[in-house]
Chain A
Amino acid sequence: MGTQFKYYWWKVLAGILLLYAVVGGFIIKISFEGMEVAAESMRNLFYHVGMWFGMLTMLITGFVYSLRYLRKFDELEDIKAVEAVNVGLMFGFLGIFTGMIWANFTWGSPWVKDPKLNGAAVGLLIYLAYAILRGSIDDTHKRAKVAAIYNVFAFFLWIVLVIILPRLAGESIHPAGGGNANTIMPMHLPPSMRLIFYPAMLGWILLGVWIYKLRVRLRRIKLTIDNK
């Protein structure tokens, strides 16, 4: 961490935003027509959805660094890619499990037959396979190269599975499924909820970036020690 405020202000911002999200998210009044099935639990929007925003941000980061690795074959780019995916996986699991809790109380079962849920599950598996693939190759350069190529494919597959296919299916019960009567887009939320929602998402994303950076810095330290 830079000792100057200009280097770590965004970490403070992450804390303030999440604090705001927790306090604000609990004390605002929830009134949302058509969502009586969730009622007060609509507050989960500020937390459960944040996991997916965090995951997507990390997956994009990983995708970009994998592409960069394939251009320059710099080991540090590979480290950044894998750590981004690791943090993304953490968000993904938290997203799935918080979703299961919410689903259990809303739809009566932790898992319902739904393209959005199944897509998210398969999407997680794809990235778990990335971790397994890395573990199975001993040669550092070969591992980095194969993993980077796989990660580029994994990213597009994830986008298709989690964002595009549920929309094409058109009958998702999940509010983020898209394209039907169940769908709730952030901009359709009442203003009082949007006022919490957007800052909360930014807060989760920044928290993810922070954890990601910590992991990369630790790996960098290890790299310096190993190269000695």
Chain B
Amino acid sequence: MLENGKIFVVVVVLALILVGIFVYLFTIDRKVTKLEKEVEKISEPEK
């Protein structure tokens, strides 16, 4: 499995997918943060 070095092709592909997923998660996280701030703004003046 490790002898012909082809496994590294798979490792690189998997690593890229993982990095992609995490970058995506971070953008979702950022969007939620924005939404939280917006909601905070809307709900505060009424108190």
Contacts and interface: CB of A to CB of B under 8 A. Distances in A.
A142 interface: no
A102 interface: no
A214 interface: yes
B25 A27 contact: no
A43 to B, nearest CB: 10
A214 B29 CA distance: 7
Interface of A is mostly: helix
Given A1-B29, A11-B29, A26-B7, A19 B36 contact: no
A63 B35 CA distance: 29
Interface of B is mostly: helix
A90 B2 CA distance: 33
A22 interface: yes
Contacts of B35: 218, 221
Which 10 interchain pairs have the tightest Cβ spacing?
A: A15-B22, A1-B29, A1-B33, A26-B11, A224-B39, A22-B14, A221-B39, A217-B32, A224-B43, A23-B11
Interface of A: 1-3, 8, 11, 14-15, 18-19, 22-23, 26-27, 29, 40, 210, 214, 217-218, 220-221, 224-225, 228
Given A1-B29, A228-B43, 20 more contacts: A1-B30, A2-B33, A3-B33, A11-B25, A15-B22, A18-B18, A19-B15, A19-B18, A22-B14, A22-B15, A23-B14, A26-B7, A26-B11, A27-B11, A40-B1, A214-B32, A217-B36, A218-B35, A224-B40, A225-B39
Interface of B: 1-2, 7-8, 10-11, 14-15, 18-19, 22, 25-26, 28-30, 32-33, 35-36, 39-40, 42-43, 46
